[in-house]
Structure 1
Amino acid sequence: MKNKYLKGAHLSERKFKEILRLFADDLTATQIANISGVSRVTINSYLKKLRHQIARCCETLHPVPAPVIAYDSRQENSQPDHGSDTLVAVKPEVERLVKPVIFGICRLPDRLYTEILPDVTRSMIHAATRGRSVLETLGATERLRGFNGVVDLGQYRLYRLGSSITDTLNGSPLMDDVDAFWALTKHRLAKFKGLNRNTAYLHLKECEYRFNNRNEDLYGVLLELLKTYPLTLA
């Protein structure tokens, strides 16, 4: 069946557009399945592929040459890293033995980007927020200073590391957008009651993509993305 947005699909282009619009409206997989009449398994498969494409798009805009941590489908068939098969809690009562996901938020004049920081610990964040020089020996100070904020999903908390610098484009403090992004992200992630570590990255990049396109018609933006980089079932 011909579908320029989803190669190899046994689904009409019209039906796929319906699913895409529901995704753009931020409905859950269960809601999309109920409304579209497509099975939950199929919806989950399509949404995962879509999130991979969104993550790749975000990665191309990453401001530093070093790639961000990528979680791709090959990891699902490989032996998981330590703790990778556990849920990443996004509420305060997280089990303390589970290593939390920590990510940085950086605000540029035209957009915001995020990066998961697997080598950053809570003690490093606490030291950075207090201005302690002990981080110099850990080699993390300069890296953390590149972010306006750092989020510990285990504590469900944003640590502000940047100053209230004014955005020269619209005159608003940069931290306002960091706070707004975290408000969007914690609201979206709370719906999952916890995330698998292998999908946390994809959901984070989806939040980044949604925030950076918050003033656009997200459905139209996604259509343009998939015209250039269609999904494939292969």
Structure 2
Amino acid sequence: MNKKNGLSRYRREKLLRAFVADLTASQAALFLGLSRTTVNRYYHLFRTAIATHQQTLAREALCTGTVEIDESYFGPTRPRGVTGKLKRGRGTLKQPVFGVFERGGRVFTEIVPDTNKKTLQALIRGRIALDATVVPDGWRAYDGLVDVGYDRHLRIRKARPKAFSKDGVHINGIESFWSFTKRRLAKFNGVSVNFELHLKECEWRWGKGPDTLANELKTFLV
């Protein structure tokens, strides 16, 4: 952040801390005595820097070790103008998002047009090393991973919940991330604008304390 933005260094630091504390723009504006326009401008700057960092991190190295994969769906419970009974999960009208979680390490997400085999397996090959142990659920899009080089492929069946944690065969990590992300976005009443920026922010925030977040964000803004 340069000095031509009109805020003192002290107020910029306060605004950064408000963002790290996950205050909404309205809350931060009220707390710091700033306009919503100013806060939104800085928040967008912060989120853009975070997204750039997360995207660079995803390109730099493939996920290794044990890697959980799963898809989730985001959007309003009932889109405007849609009537009748709606499907949940796969087949829903919501936006599908694919997630990759490297146990003990990183989580990455990708907004996808669908959850078909061709779409998801292309992302898997681009994000996960062939010597990794891949743990998906029983969705048919994950059929044939062994055929494309993933010999360490541990499958779970959600119809048999007792098998979730047997010998580490579970996707509790990525499901925990989805839960965190949906709870966090709920306080913004969902996100219809800049959804990808918010998604990347959730990747970055997950599992980190406020001091770590603040220090990292400062390095992104240099």
The aligned residue for residue 101 of structure 1 is: 95
In structure 2, do the counterparts of structure 1 residues 149 and 35 end up closer, same or farther at CA, with 3 Å as the change threshold? farther
Deviations 1:83-111 (A, max 9, x none): xxxxx973422345996322110012421
Q: 2:214 matched to 1:219?
A: yes
Q: Distance in 1 between matches of 2:41 and 2:120?
A: 40
Q: Does 1:186 align with 2:165?
A: no
* Residue 29 (str. 1) matches residue 33 (str. 2): no
| Residue in structure 2 matching 1:90, options 52, 60, 75 | 75
The whole-number CA distance in structure 2 between the counterparts of 1:90 and 1:29 is 21
Kindly report the root-mean-square deviation, in angstroms, between the aligned alpha carbons of the 2 structures.
3.7
Which residue in the other structure is 1:69 paired with?
A: none
Q: Determine the C-alpha separation between the residues in 2 that align with 1:206 and 1:30.
A: 18
Does 2:119 align with 1:140? yes
Alignment correspondent of 1:195: 191
1:141 CA displacement? 5.7
Change (3 A) 1:28 1:163: farther
Q: Under a length normalisation based on structure 2, what TM-score does the superposition of the two structures give?
A: 0.64
Distance in structure 2 (CA, Å) of the matches to 1:223 and 1:51 = 12
Q: Quick one: distance in 2 between partners of 1:29 and 1:22?
A: 9
1:38 pairs, out of 26, 34, 37, with 34
The amino acid of 2:94's aligned partner reads P
Distance of 1:116 and 1:62 partners within structure 2: 14
Q: Distance in 2 between matches of 1:16 and 1:174?
A: 43
Gap change, CA 1:38 and 1:111, over 3 Å in 2:
same
Aligned residue pairs, count = 172
How many percent identity over aligned positions? 30
Deviation at 1:58, TM superposition (A): 0.3
> Deviation digits for residues 203-224 of structure 1, max 9, x if unmatched?
0000001016358631222123
Q: Structure 1, unaligned stretches of length 5 or more?
A: 66-87, 125-134, 151-159, 228-234
Question: 1:215 and 1:194, CA in 2 relative to 1: closer, same or farther beyond 3 A?
Answer: closer
Q: Which has the higher contact order (CA 8 A, sep 6+)?
A: 1
- Whole-angstrom CA distance in 2 between matches of 1:219 and 1:172: 33
Change (3 A) 1:148 1:213: farther
Report the residue type matching 1:176 in the other structure: N
